[in-house]
């Protein structure tokens, strides 16, 4: 996302863009809990919420050049999943991955890219009608855990979790959830459903929000960079 020029008009433009973004994300924060849910009451494991890190957290790494996210890995949870770009639906809410693809994670393409300046947003389902989904154990991640995002330029952005929070649906604070924690940092928000499951409404009462920040970068030798158009080069004949 390009920065607006300095001055009153630039500040106004930024304010309008962020107001629209936060409105859409607030709607998503309310609507994502209206998912299908499982056949029995389910809650995320929120044992890590409010728990301080057992060791001091590492210093922040400087933001990286823009590149699209391709995959996310949270080794402490056994999560390895593809990331797909999603926008807003007809109601103005962030469009999560289809329930038919419960192993995918959505990146909100209207916001920062993971590794770039600002808080990038990744969302995924907790479960479906019949089985756990990609972020079923997200509430159990601990401060200090690593989240890795493989990017289209062949790099891996390494994030460190700083806290895990649960936001009730009826008290969802978009500015607090999606706003930056510290200026000029590259940050990450990883979000799914949580809280109590209402069987009659087929909805969860809250969202689990994992906040992390960039602490490192490394190359991914097995990842080929994307072309200038943002698509991966086609494999050679016979591959």
pTM: 0.73
CATH number of 8-219: 2.40.260.10
pLDDT in tens, 12-51: 333 333 444 444 554 444 444 334 333 222 333 333 344 4
Residues of the chain with pLDDT under 50: 1-23, 26-51, 223, 225-239
pLDDT value for 222: 66
Q: Give the sign of the dihedral formed by CA 50, CA 197, CA 93, CA 232.
A: positive
SS3 81: strand
Residue 176: C-alpha distances to residues 41, 98, 209, 220 (Å) = 28, 27, 11, 33
pLDDT in tens, 190-219: 999 988 888 877 778 899 999 999 999 999
How is residue 67 written in tokens? 């590149």
CB 106 within 8 A of CB 125: no
* CA 121 to mean position of chain CA atoms: 4
């Amino acid at each position: 996302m390009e920065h607006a020029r300095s001055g009153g008009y630039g500040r106004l433009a930024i304010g309008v863009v962020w107001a629209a973004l936060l409105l859409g994300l607030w709607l998503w924060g309310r609507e994502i809990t209206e998912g299908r849910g499982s056949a029995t009451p389910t809650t995320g494991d929120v044992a890590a919420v409010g728990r301080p890190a057992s060791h001091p957290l590492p210093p922040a790494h400087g933001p990286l050049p823009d590149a699209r996210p391709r995959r996310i890995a949270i080794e402490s949870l056994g999560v390895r999943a593809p990331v797909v770009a999603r926008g807003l639906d007809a109601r103005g809410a962030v469009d999560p991955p289809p329930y038919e693809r419960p192993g995918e994670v959505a990146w909100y393409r209207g916001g920062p890219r993971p590794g770039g300046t600002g808080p990038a947003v990744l969302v995924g389902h907790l479960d479906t009608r019949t089985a756990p989904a990609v972020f079923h154990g997200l509430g159990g991640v601990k401060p200090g855990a690593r989240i890795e995002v493989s990017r289209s330029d062949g790099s891996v952005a390494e994030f460190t979790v700083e806290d895990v929070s649960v936001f009730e649906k009826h008290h969802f604070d978009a500015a607090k959830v999606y706003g930056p924690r510290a200026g000029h940092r590259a940050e990450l928000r990883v979000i799914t459903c949580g809280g109590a499951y209402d069987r009659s409404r087929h909805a969860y009462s809250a969202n689990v929000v994992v906040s992390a920040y960039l602490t490192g970068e490394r190359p991914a030798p097995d990842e080929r960079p994307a072309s200038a158009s943002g698509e991966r080069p086609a494999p050679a004949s016979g591959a």
